[in-house]
Amino acid sequence: MLCDEASFLWLCAASSAEEAQAGGGMATVEGRPAQYGVTLQQLRELMETRGHEAIQRIHDEYGGIQDLCRKLYTSPTDGLSGSAADLEHRRATFGANSIPPKPPKTFLQLVWEALQDMTLIILQVAAFVSLVLAFIEPEDHDSGHGGKPKEPGESEAGWIEGVAILVSVVIVVLVTAFNDYTKERQFRGLQSRIEQEHKFAVIRGGEVNQIAVSEIVVGDICQVKYGDLLPADGIIIQSNDLKIDESTLTGESDHVKKGEHTDPMLFSGTHVMEGSGKVLVSAVGVNSQAGIILTLLGAAHTENKEQKKKKKKKACYVEAGEKELSPLTQPDPNVDEEAAMSGNSHLGNITANTHMEPARADSIVASGSPAEENNPRKEKSVLQAKLTKLAIQIGYVGSTIAVLTVIILVVRHLIEVFVAEGRTWKSSDTQHIVNCFIIGVTVLVVAVPEGLPLAVTLSLAYSVKKMMKDNNLVRHLDACETMGNATSICSDKTGTLTTNRMTVVQSYICGVNHKSSPRYENLPATVAEKIVYGISVNSAYTSRVLPPENPGELPKQVGNKTECSLLGFVLDLGKDFQSVRDDIPEEMLHKVYTFNSVRKSMSTVIPLDGGRGFRVYTKGASEIVLKKCSFIFGSGGQLENFRQEDQDRLVRTVIEPMASNGLRTICLAYKDYILTGSNTKANEVAVTEEPDWEDEDNIVKELTCLCVVGIEDPVRPEVPEAIRKCQRAGITVRMVTGDNVNTARSIALKCGIIKPGDDFLVLEGKELNRRIRDSNGEIQQALLDKVWPRLRVLARSSPQDKYNLVKGIIESKLRDNREVVAVTGDGTNDGPALKKADVGFAMGIAGTDVAKEASDIILTDDNFTSIVKAVMWGRNVYDSIAKFLQFQLTVNTVAVIVAFTGACAIRDSPLKAVQMLWVNLIMDTLASLALATEMPTSSLLLRKPYGRTKPLISRTMMKNILGHAIYQLTVIFLLLFLGPEIFDIDPGMGVRLSEHFTIIFNTFVMMTLFNEVNARKIHGERNIFEGLLTNPIFYSILIITAVAQVSGLLCVFQENLFHTLQPV
């Protein structure tokens, strides 16, 4: 047995005095010596051992785990005191539990990356050539653009256009760099938020507290359980059936059995797949095994980057050539993680990087490892795929028109000058050719909606921020918009559709069906005592029911909610489960078979008093446990045989009625193993030696049934309406649960997933497998396609059944549009289904760390209604981007056609390069902000999902784009060809400063500005002003843009910068 706290601390102080004496004095922390009995280096070396070698080393060098605790001044039972001074001293000595993040890119680095864009490089070169020609042009030169006489002062101002283009490039680069800088900051904020959400059970001062993993220090005593992601290295003090997935460290997928007598070493970044236990933290942060590997990877990454830089210099010309051929490219999938993080979106990159998974300290799988092969990246989201396709199409059109514009301008100039006029080459001709080239490049710049990546990023970032308030913590940005296209949701029942506030409302004990909790004294004494002990001992000791925090409130349930309901039943009987646990502490438990999805039960072995033998307590799904029972207590507590017909009658008369009322049924049972020499009863098993506890099938059979309880988990009141909204929105909701089929059907009816008379399927996992597998046991997609369209409830399902269903729906080609599937999960074994789904939702409260790691979005309130909000935000992202596209493509269509027509008809573009850059940069950038910040409305759930094959530009949007483009082109061409006569002014062709082109430019900008209001509606709504005042960002930007165009500031500079005259 362990020492009590007082003697333990006395031993710590006495031993420390012997070990740490130095002269006459000694540094102390909180009254104990500052020097530990073990060093950081010794702990690091210890954690490099495994198995029996580790056990032997702990025993030989440290005197066992108890002595190691003493050397670290911690108590195996009560943990650390938790004082600030002690914790800080441990961090200073052994390190903090955090991996230093990679330093963010500086703003200058992001500016340099933005300058690498090929389109910008072309513009810079053209501007530089323009500047050089402007300064070296001979003074006696007599001709301007197109061979026409120059205006007075034009020679002096010839350099302005080159400078203006360079200024525009600088602004583009700064905006791009700032965009990437803010995205990186958001990434780190999201990473920080997720790290704060990751808490762990730590014993401090004798109390179990949930603390952030970054606060864990060496010497802490942690409670580990099924589903945990271990935050630090540690040594097992006590364990129950502990199995660990160490594939992140070793690459081996087999689960490793751990225990104080087999292999006590646990490592950060590994997953607890079964069992529970207590662990002494021995290494944290960079000193843990995961931290050491990450440090090595970081050094290797830095070395690789240096090598890549050297290779890049050699390959830069090849790369430049490739980029020039394809100005609209997707982000390179092989780009390093820094580039992936920043998601640079330059002029030539229409798709924004939206895969934003924070780098976790436990993500240490090396490239090519089995773990990585088993977790392939998901395919592109619906929006990403559509944007990529649109990018390619726009690239072709823009490149073609740009090339044609340059060819027409150059050929016309050459014919007119060298054929018609018959003169020789002059420097002005070079200048004109450069200007033609600049116009062509500008047409390409205008054709590419460079504001689109910003719109995508802003819309996603804005939505993610708002979704946090709606209890959706988004881990992958693209999951946000993918939810907008969801067609199917496979939801868990417990905690998601229900409140997860469980209580025992019925019980069947000794042949009597109790509709309310009976009193302890009204039950047969021997049976009642076994029920109390069975529940108290055969539950995780981390599950507790605490008194209400305030008068009038319900008791607080901590831990597994099913176990809490049973512990609450003990309290209702008038007994205290804690006193039982005090009599039988966790260290006395001889063997524990923890609950998992295969067993669907939990069993605990304890020694009987006086060494008479052992007792096995079992609890679990009623139909599973009852099949293992051979005896039952009948009326008055009499022991009776429990034959098959008795089991069938109990199922028919007790369990099915409970399940039909939506109750979960749990059976409690036990079995005694009596050592030879003692008298045995009919339901006891006589043994001559301790049984083989690893032979679970023989240990947990021929049980004696104690009782069956019915547990109520009410449907959340808001869930039926949320499911109706999903159904109206064209989303099929399916319930996937491990509960009894009758319980599942009852809850599904209450939720509205199924309705009386519906021709839908409610199946158990076994039946599903029977229907979808062939004679060889292989799953056939054709058979699955006959089942899933009508399936609404899958009961008694295993995680593998859930995965098979999700995979089958996603891979089905039954419909033209592939289904977009969202899945909820909370268990460790839900990981594969969460990863396979288009969007995986993990439960923030009840979910395991493993499930959260596999998910795309974490529901911080475990509520189904939050999924509906995620659908709204996803559709809103899609619509916001569609709105911006409607606006942007109208602007681009008009600008490109005007530039092209001007080149063909008047040998000059009415919209100059700088003017088009101004419209594209300032107006479109601000428009992306305005249109990307629209709030979602309930009307988003009144239409069906867009689907994978429906074009991003709908028919209605195309009508709007063409209608507004035709209107704007009509006005501009009227002004271009008839403007001089209408306003009695000189034509602007071939003149640098022109009232004519000033009117055209300002008219174009104003039409574009007011088209932002039209662009807010993409579904044919008549009232374009509806909801205008609900978005202050939108109308503020509208005002700012208008003021920027007509303000006195622009009037001062526009004469030289924009080739326009100041207004009179």
Which residues are marked as active site?
492
CB 985 within 8 A of CB 995: yes
- Rounded Cα–Cα distance for residues 626 and 704 (Å): 9
Written as six digits, the tokens of 972 are 């501009």
Cα 368 to Cα 373, 615, 831: the distances in Å are 7, 48, 20
Q: What token pair was written down for 588?
A: 């006395």
Burial of 92 (0-12, 13-18, 19+ CB in 10 A): exposed
The one-letter code for the residue type at 1051 is C
* Token output for 3: 């020492």
Cβ partners under 8 Å of residue 100, min gap 6: 286
Are the C-beta atoms of residues 684 and 630 closer than 8 Å to each other? Answer: no
Q: How many residues does the chain have?
A: 1064
Tokens of 304: 């690789």
Structure tokens at 973: 């061409």
Rounded to 5 degrees, what are φ and ψ at 624? -75, -50
Reduce the DSSP state of residue 17 to 3 states and report it. Answer: helix
The order of strands in the sheet holding 821-825 is 472-474, 857-859, 839-843, 821-825, 488-491, 732-736, 791-795, 761-764
The candidate with the shortest Cα–Cα distance to 600, out of 664, 532, 693, is 664
Report yes or no: 888 and 927 within 8 Å, Cβ to Cβ: yes
Quote the distance between the C-alpha of residue 89 and its chain's center: 35
- Is residue 328 within 8 A of residue 395, CB to CB? The reply is yes
Residue 379, helix vs strand vs coil = coil
Name residue 791's amino acid: L
Q: Quick one: which of 372, 212, 361 has its CA closest to 290?
A: 361
- Phi/psi zone of residue 162: left (φ > 0), alpha (ψ -120 to 50 degrees), beta? alpha
- In 289-448, which ranges are continuous DSSP H helix? 289-325, 337-342, 370-373, 382-414, 427-447
**Do residues 510 and 637 touch, judged by C-beta distance below 8 A?**
yes
**Rounded CA gap, 168 and 145, in Å?**
22
Q: Which two tokens stand for residue 951?
A: 């074009």
Phi and psi torsions of 373, nearest 5°: -65, -30
Sole residue written with tokens 């988003």: 940
Collapsed DSSP state (helix, strand, coil) of residue 131? helix
Whole-number CA gyration radius for the chain: 36
Q: Which residues pair with 558 in a beta bridge?
A: 544
Residue 351: name the closest of 369, 335, 332, 378 by CA.
332
Q: What are phi and psi of 354, to 5 degrees?
A: -115, 5
H/E run at residue 10: helix 5-19
Which phi and psi angles does 7 have, rounded to 5°? -65, -35
727: tokens are: 């159904």
Q: How far is CA 617 from CA 189, 239, 510, 667, 704, in A?
A: 47, 18, 18, 11, 10
* Three-state SS annotation for 537-598: HCCCCCCEEECCCCCCCCCEEECCHHHHHHHHHHHHHCCCHHHHHHHCCHHHCCEEECCCCC
